[in-house]
């Protein structure tokens, strides 16, 4: 397809998506909306331009990567989201960095970039419109693991008071996280990705405690390198987060194949790009409890992948013991399942924590009932009215402290074919789709407890 024809088609499709976003904003004119875009823009150092020569990368051809990134910026600035989160941002190239900072700055954005550790070359960029937000704080999180991954945390408040709360003491602050998790090249790295999300949530929790912050909306944006069937998805759901795109389209957790957002280097298409929302009225499980359930979920998955029934799994865990699982047998099973025994595995302290949770009566062994309750039938997904988070109406409760939350009004993926689970062959802007979500602020009570 010729360049002019391609540009015309992409422009038409982009306007279709932008029209859907604009329409959602127009429908809520009485309530100002904010928009958030997440986009893995495929760093030129990773973009292959010759299938027959994998070492031939776009980064070697300035004309190519410069033109593509100008097009990316054209689309981003045409859409003008309030929040922009980019992954695989080529921080190692000064010209490209200056290009983004200049064009975003000229358009009224303030931006922050963060490179991956060990000079990997790419990293993250988060930008917000100055007319929408006041920057309260910016933090960087280095995972310091095998993938050299990082995360950004931006604490902002709305610069425009929501009209109906202009003279009230309703807090209008948001925590925004941008990240790019490790690609699971093999099964042992699934645990690394789970660890990365755990570190993000621990960091967010610590940040809120250190600054004595009350509950506020949290948005987690980025490339999560895992689908709705994965352990990371279930872990975040157990903490009360909802996928904004799925909320907007009324998809359930079981609707795993409705849409895609990435075609990876193996040619597989999958949904990996999410904007997660946690509203401040959400009752949350203790983070360590959700983490333990997630690990036990992975434990069960590995046992079932080995075609073990629940009785077979119990027999595997207890080893030569007659009727119970000892701590040493538990540790040996974790090692055999590659959850420990290597640098990416569970630490000794984490294994002990899992054991304490599994050993309900504290007698030092697990009987069959404890095994079923704590390991085999451990549920990760929180069933407490998840469907309402992100979709609720403006509500008030004078008995509780009030804060701002968000309702998901719309969500659009570009190119539009991916919303039907297809990947267009003529799309070359990136190997990821761009996701934009429209949020409308609503008043809600703060959650007063963690369950």
Spatial distance between the Cα atoms of 447 and 451, rounded to a whole number of angstroms: 10
Q: In which element (H, E) is residue 355 found? A: helix 348-358
* CA dihedral of 70, 18, 433, 412, whole degrees rounded to 10: 160
* CA dihedral of 422, 245, 186, 382, whole degrees rounded to 10: -140
Backbone angles phi, psi at 119, to 5 degrees: 55, 50
Cβ–Cβ under 8 Å, residues 193 and 226: yes
Cβ–Cβ under 8 Å, residues 378 and 296: yes
Secondary-structure breakdown of the chain: helix, strand, coil percentages, each rounded to the nearest 5: 35, 25, 40
Crossing angle of helices 348-358 and 327-336, in 10° steps, is 120
pLDDT digit of tens for each residue in the chain (451 aa)?
444 443 444 444 444 456 556 555 555 555 679 999 999 999 999 999 887 788 899 999 999 999 999 999 999 999 999 999 999 999 999 999 999 999 999 999 999 999 999 999 999 999 999 999 999 999 999 998 878 999 999 999 998 765 456 556 777 899 999 999 998 777 678 899 999 999 999 999 999 999 999 899 999 999 999 989 999 999 999 999 999 999 999 999 999 899 999 998 888 999 999 999 999 988 678 898 899 999 999 989 999 888 889 999 999 998 877 789 999 999 999 999 999 988 888 999 999 999 998 998 899 999 999 899 888 887 543 333 343 444 444 444 445 677 889 999 999 999 999 999 999 999 999 999 999 999 999 988 876 544 4
Cβ–Cβ under 8 Å, residues 236 and 271: no
Q: In which element (H, E) is residue 296 found? A: helix 287-305
């Amino acid at each position: 397809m010729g360049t002019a024809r391609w540009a015309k088609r992409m422009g038409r499709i982009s306007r279709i998506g932008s029209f859907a976003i604009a329409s959602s904003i127009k429908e809520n004119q009485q309530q100002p909306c904010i928009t958030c875009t997440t986009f893995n823009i495929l760093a030129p150092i990773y973009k292959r331009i010759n299938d027959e020569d994998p070492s031939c990368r776009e980064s070697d051809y300035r004309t190519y990567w410069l033109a593509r990134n100008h097009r990316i910026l054209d689309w981003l600035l045409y859409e003008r989201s309030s929040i922009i989160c980019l992954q695989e941002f080529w921080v190692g190239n000064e010209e490209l960095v200056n290009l983004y900072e200049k064009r975003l700055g000229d358009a009224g954005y303030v931006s922050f970039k963060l490179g991956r550790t060990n000079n990997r070359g790419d990293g993250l960029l988060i930008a917000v419109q100055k007319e929408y937000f006041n920057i309260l704080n910016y933090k960087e999180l280095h995972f310091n693991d095998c993938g050299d991954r990082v995360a950004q945390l931006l604490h902002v408040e709305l610069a425009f008071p929501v009209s109906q709360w202009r003279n009230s003491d309703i807090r209008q602050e948001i925590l925004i996280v941008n990240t790019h998790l490790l690609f699971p090249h093999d099964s042992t790295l699934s645990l690394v990705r789970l660890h990365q999300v755990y570190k993000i949530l621990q960091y967010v929790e610590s940040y809120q405690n250190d600054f004595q912050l009350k509950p506020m909306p949290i948005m987690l944006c980025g490339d999560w390198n895992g689908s709705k069937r994965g352990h990371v998805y279930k872990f975040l759901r157990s903490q009360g987060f909802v996928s904004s795109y799925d909320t907007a389209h009324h998809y359930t957790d079981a609707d795993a194949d409705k849409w895609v957002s990435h075609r990876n280097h193996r040619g597989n298409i999958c949904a990996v790009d999410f904007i997660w929302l946690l509203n401040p009225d959400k009752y949350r499980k203790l983070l360590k409890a959700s983490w333990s359930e997630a690990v036990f979920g992975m434990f069960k998955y590995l046992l079932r992948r080995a075609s073990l029934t629940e009785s077979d799994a119990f027999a595997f865990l207890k080893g030569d013991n007659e009727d119970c699982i000892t701590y040493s047998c538990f540790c040996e099973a974790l090692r055999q399942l590659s959850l420990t025994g290597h640098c990416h595995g569970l630490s000794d302290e984490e294994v002990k924590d899992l054991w304490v949770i599994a050993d309900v009566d504290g007698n030092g062994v697990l009987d069959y009932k404890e095994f079923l309750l704590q390991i085999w039938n451990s549920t990760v997904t929180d069933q407490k009215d998840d469907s309402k988070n992100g979709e609720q109406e403006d509500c008030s409760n004078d008995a509780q402290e009030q804060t701002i939350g968000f309702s998901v009004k719309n969500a659009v993926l570009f190119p539009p074919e991916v919303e039907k689970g297809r990947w267009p062959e003529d799309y070359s802007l990136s190997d990821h789709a761009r996701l934009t979500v429209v949020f409308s602020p609503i008043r809600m009570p703060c959650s007063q407890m963690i369950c």
